[in-house]
Structure 1
């Protein structure tokens, strides 16, 4: 427990400078502020991840995984909603709200999912090599080539994400994220929670690191400790989200870097890094389904609830009930929707093979090699064309995926 206390203390210590500056009302220069408050957001995300994982000792099942996946990315919500709220009085911030949302979603699929697949691939090779050394020389290659196989109940996540992916094309078509979109996506996320709440299949995950040690505590000590860690993390998020978001914009101006790109990629990377690391560790321990399943659930909540909250925050900040999208944001949302549709098509058979991970990562990298507006539009069409080809090839997977929305899935008695 001493090691656990030290790690918790280190995470809190990482957030301390940012919290102290915030309470003292001190405003550092943009670049130091970006680093200090970014470290605070990262520390809060790490604490939230530990607390969410520990809570699984008291809450079990796919519904718990979905709820805890949402809790783990609260720092991302805080930063993005602050941009949307501020856009109500400063219209130029509307672009940053869209940038942060699209960056978080594309980073999760284009980098997070391939990282899990890569870790699973090398873990399988390692296991195969160990088996070969023990006398079973043919197991390694076969295991390493299978990729990540998802359990049948993950089809619920894929199905709900697929419908949300199709509906999302309404945003670039109307050039706004309206209150209608918000209502539909909130209702859709609620249906998702209800559906997986009725799934009887459980996720028996072996906790690792700090959560494992906290979960081993007696319930009378574990539960107050978990609540305390949640409370500390929430306080850090509240203290750091606004100055971190502001410093990102100001740092872009002072460094001569496109502020849009800083908001789009650096903020999501800081807020989602702990979740990505945990998912990769799961895969490295031959639990690829747990790792990819957690990121898949996070993608569902970010592509539904996060988007839905943006126009509400915009209206609360003094704007209208529709967050406007200008030309660049229209292209970014279209590209993210197209990537999401391809991701769904790749997971229809519940197998995430190495070539699928490579495809998602390669297409993610292309957007930086060809950053022009026309290039993003062409890349969107590439995503869509590949998705249509895969959907045509895997049309037999569509009926069971559709049934997962409200009917039975294999092995589920409900």
Structure 2
């Protein structure tokens, strides 16, 4: 068992080594803007080498998070995993926010501010539109789905579903609060200190609550996590911290060349740069998270996989938005709200509307294949339609901004209909969250299965 587990860890680490050696021995080391031909590699070679290293780091992250569940509340381990897995997105978005502050008042600064918002909204919509829907469909239709306790098999077309852990109630309610606040963000003409205070404060409160949760040491693990959990506590903690730190570093130094390499490949194929930054770069930076979740699902840990996706959405929808104004102000040299144009106002509203609809799907603690397909179709159709308009393949009687508002309205109407239909489930999930918060504040253990 130990030899096999060590070999598995070594294989994952080996995937990261070529890129890390190249990164450590290249003259471009001091700069994060490596460029598409980093270390003398071609654009395609850069994408391949950095992409493989991200894959290896994603497995190391997943093993570290599973191992950590022996010593910390599972929700906290998943929250750490979620933050590290989407760290590349933070790095890319922070770069645009910094440029917006450095070149404030110029055309370059205005464009950078718009790109920061576009990259953020693209990442959030990809996480739900491709991540939530794709993982739900993968969970239901993969070969061993009938052996997964989280999969509910029903007769009828696309009626099979994935069961969501009721303990994720806290995350769903906090995500709903962040989503409702996001509808207000464009009204001030920029992301400001009030947005930062509410959204970052919301995430800090969430972390404080889950840290007071109970450790569940009896969760059964196999393979690498089981091997690492057999270590003594000091050695186990050191292993977890080491895996988190190393895999986080790999992702941080690989994702920008990977994302920019993909952008350049897309540009060579005739895809507009702005479209690449909103969609291709976030898709690249979200890849570690999606790989980790697919790994968990494949181990029939679908519940943990979905918890990670929901936690990722929560931290991106709070920390990512809230910290952009901090990065912008630091680069500006004084406090300032990160500005954006009308098009990005529409993008934020559409992202909030998609999130609103997705939350409505979750409040009954399951996602059917039919609902996953609806999420996927709405997301893909909007992206393809916008691309077709940009490429002048089709001509719409309305502007792109108005098209975003139309899609926003569709999401909101569908979401409201579901919330009304599932109002009893919404009430129970709010009551359950209240119980969780009360237990955390008082220090009392919440009865297992309460309010289920």
Q: TM-score range by the shorter chain?
A: 0.7 to 0.9
- Cα offset for 1:275? 2.3
**Which has the higher mean CA deviation after the structures are superposed, 66-75 or 100-109?**
66-75
CA separation of 1:264/1:352 partners in 2, compared to 1, >3 Å: closer, same or farther?
A: same
Instruction: Give the distance between the partners of 2:139 and 2:269, measured in 1 at CA.
Output: 38
- Cα offset for 1:235? 3.7
**Which has the higher mean CA deviation after the structures are superposed, 292-301 or 167-176?**
167-176
Indicate whether 1:5 and 2:5 are aligned: no
Instruction: Give the distance between the partners of 2:419 and 2:349, measured in 1 at CA.
Output: 19
Cα shift readout 1:314-335 (whole Å, capped 9, x = no counterpart): 1111164211121221111111
- Cα offset for 1:159? 0.8
3-state DSSP of counterpart to 1:317: helix
Find the counterpart in structure 2 of residue 321 from structure 1. 336
- Cα offset for 1:9? 1.9
Instruction: Give the distance between the partners of 1:186 and 1:84, measured in 2 at CA.
Output: 17
Cα shift readout 1:300-326 (whole Å, capped 9, x = no counterpart): 111111111111111111164211121
3-state DSSP of counterpart to 2:102: coil
- State how 1:31-110 maps to structure 2 within 5 Å: 31=43, 35=47, 44-45=57-58, 47-90=60-103, 91=109, 92-110=111-129
- Candidates 222, 237, 247, aligned match of 1:233: 247
**Which has the higher mean CA deviation after the structures are superposed, 224-233 or 374-383?**
224-233
Cα shift readout 1:161-193 (whole Å, capped 9, x = no counterpart): 111111101112223111110011111112222
CA contact 1:164–1:185 (8 Å) conserved in 2: yes
CA separation of 1:151/1:48 partners in 2, compared to 1, >3 Å: closer, same or farther?
A: closer
3-state DSSP of counterpart to 2:21: helix
- Candidates 114, 117, 121, aligned match of 2:136: 117
CA separation of 1:188/1:146 partners in 2, compared to 1, >3 Å: closer, same or farther?
A: same
Find the counterpart in structure 1 of residue 416 from structure 2. 388
Instruction: Give the distance between the partners of 2:162 and 2:35, measured in 1 at CA.
Output: 46
- Cα offset for 1:44? 4.9
3-state DSSP of counterpart to 1:4: helix
User: What is the aligned-residue RMSD (CA, Å)?
Assistant: 3.4
- State how 1:179-198 maps to structure 2 within 5 Å: 179-198=193-212
- Candidates 29, 35, 39, aligned match of 1:23: 29
CA separation of 1:67/1:342 partners in 2, compared to 1, >3 Å: closer, same or farther?
A: same
Instruction: Give the distance between the partners of 1:326 and 1:188, measured in 2 at CA.
Output: 26
Find the counterpart in structure 1 of residue 348 from structure 2. 333
Find the counterpart in structure 2 of residue 132 from structure 1. none
Find the counterpart in structure 2 of residue 299 from structure 1. 313
Cα shift readout 1:52-79 (whole Å, capped 9, x = no counterpart): 3433343233233223322322222122
CA contact 1:50–1:211 (8 Å) conserved in 2: yes
CA contact 1:66–1:297 (8 Å) conserved in 2: yes
3-state DSSP of counterpart to 2:434: coil
3-state DSSP of counterpart to 1:23: coil
CA contact 1:49–1:72 (8 Å) conserved in 2: no
CA separation of 1:376/1:410 partners in 2, compared to 1, >3 Å: closer, same or farther?
A: farther
Indicate whether 1:359 and 2:359 are aligned: no
Instruction: Give the distance between the partners of 1:203 and 1:175, measured in 2 at CA.
Output: 48
- Cα offset for 1:258? 1.9
CA separation of 1:128/1:403 partners in 2, compared to 1, >3 Å: closer, same or farther?
A: closer
Instruction: Give the distance between the partners of 1:380 and 1:237, measured in 2 at CA.
Output: 33
Indicate whether 1:271 and 2:290 are aligned: no
3-state DSSP of counterpart to 1:406: helix
Q: TM-score, normalised by structure 1?
A: 0.85
CA contact 1:99–1:263 (8 Å) conserved in 2: yes
Cα shift readout 1:313-366 (whole Å, capped 9, x = no counterpart): 111111642111212211111110000000111111111111111111111111
CA contact 1:52–1:71 (8 Å) conserved in 2: no
3-state DSSP of counterpart to 1:263: helix
Unmatched 5+ residue regions in structure 1? 130-138
Cα shift readout 1:188-226 (whole Å, capped 9, x = no counterpart): 112222333344484965556654544444545443333
CA contact 1:18–1:40 (8 Å) conserved in 2: no
- Cα offset for 1:51? 3.3
Q: TM-score, normalised by structure 2?
A: 0.78
Instruction: Give the distance between the partners of 1:293 and 1:388, measured in 2 at CA.
Output: 24
Instruction: Give the distance between the partners of 1:345 and 1:203, measured in 2 at CA.
Output: 32
CA contact 1:120–1:288 (8 Å) conserved in 2: yes
